[in-house]
């Protein structure tokens, strides 16, 4: 079945710097890749997602890139702010009818700390 | 994501006791999911349901049971067979499974052993 690896597990940056989190997936049929942000004790919230028919998507300070050949995708946060501090999860999903029947498989999470 | 309500927010279980976590959604979503989250780990799928009266086991279903009698509701029972139930439990829903739609999460229930 699908396996998603996420790196790094922790990331510390200075305010204003960029942060990059990388994920790799194993199932070449995966076609949907969301990113979630989870603040301490709260629900995961979708921040951006990308589908396999595009290579890059941007929303203000957040961007996601997808390399289908290498089976990896990355989250880029520019001009980081202290409120960006949270745990970030990547996930991958395959279409219904594949071995994963459309389930989201999550990475292990990255704890991002933005120092003022 | 105010359309998914989990209750209670905190729950304590005694030895040998079954407890039920509630999840209700008013988003008219077909698919619903239960995840377990332990510190330092990602979200692990317990059970999921694509349609009323149907559900499938996820990766860590042992010691848990679910029902899906109504589209809006997907309760999770943590049975006495689950020997290490202490965790943060998250319920989610999506319009339909396998159609590249994001999942929306509830606020979670934190379960502890007394």
pLDDT tens per residue, range B86-96: 999 999 999 87
Task: Output the pLDDT for position B100.
Answer: 76
Question: How many CB pairs below 8 A link A and B?
Answer: 62
Which residues from chain B sit within 8 angstroms of residue A104, using beta carbons?
33, 45, 103
Q: In angstroms, what separates the C-alpha of A108 from chain B's closest C-alpha?
A: 4
Query: Is A44 within 8 Å of B41 when comparing Cβ atoms?
Result: no
Average pLDDT, chain A: 92
Distance, CA of A54 to chain centre: 15
Which residues from chain A sit within 8 angstroms of residue B58, using beta carbons?
103
Which residues from chain A sit within 8 angstroms of residue B103, using beta carbons?
34, 46, 104
Q: What is the mean pLDDT of residues A102-115?
A: 91
From chain B residues 41-70, the ones with a CB under 8 A of any chain A CB are: 41-45, 48, 56, 58
CB distance from B99 to chain A under 8 Å?
yes
Average pLDDT, chain B: 91
d(CA B89, CA B34): 7
For residue A2, pLDDT over 90 is answered with no
Query: Is B48 within 8 Å of A103 when comparing Cβ atoms?
Result: yes
Q: In angstroms, what separates the C-alpha of B7 from chain A's closest C-alpha?
A: 13
Q: What is the mean pLDDT of residues B50-62?
A: 93
Query: Is B90 within 8 Å of A32 when comparing Cβ atoms?
Result: no
d(CA B66, CA B46): 9
For residue A4, pLDDT over 90 is answered with yes
Q: What is the DSSP string of B33-90?
A: EEEEE-TTS-EEEEEEEEETTEEEE-TT-TTEEE--SBTTB--EEE-TT-S---EEEE
Model confidence band, residue A15 (pLDDT cutoffs 50, 70, 90):
very high
Task: Output the pLDDT for position A64.
Answer: 98
For residue B2, pLDDT over 60 is answered with no
More confident position, A103 or A97 = A103
Cβ-nearest to B41 among A44, A102, A108: A108
């Amino acid at each position: 079945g699908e396996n998603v690896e996420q790196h790094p597990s922790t990331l510390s940056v200075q305010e204003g710097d960029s942060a990059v989190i990388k994920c790799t997936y194993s199932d070449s049929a995966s076609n949907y890749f969301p990113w979630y942000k989870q603040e301490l004790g709260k629900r995961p919230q979708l921040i951006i997602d990308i589908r396999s028919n595009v290579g890059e998507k941007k929303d203000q300070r957040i961007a996601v890139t997808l390399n289908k050949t290498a089976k990896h995708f990355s989250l880029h946060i520019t001009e980081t702010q202290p409120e960006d501090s949270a745990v970030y999860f990547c996930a991958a999903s395959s279409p219904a009818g594949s071995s994963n029947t459309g389930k989201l498989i999550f990475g292990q999470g990255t704890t991002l700390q933005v120092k003022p | 994501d105010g359309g998914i309500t989990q209750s209670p927010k905190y729950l304590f279980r005694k030895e040998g006791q079954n407890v039920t976590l509630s999840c209700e959604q008013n988003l008219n979503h077909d698919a619903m999911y239960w995840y377990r989250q332990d510190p330092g780990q990602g979200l692990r799928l317990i059970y999921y349901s694509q349609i009323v009266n149907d559900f499938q086991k996820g990766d860590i279903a042992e010691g848990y049971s679910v029902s899906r009698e109504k589209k809006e509701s997907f309760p999770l029972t943590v049975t006495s067979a689950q020997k290490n139930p202490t965790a943060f439990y998250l319920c989610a829903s999506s319009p339909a499974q396998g159609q590249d739609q994001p999942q929306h999460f509830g606020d979670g229930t934190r379960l502890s052993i007394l």
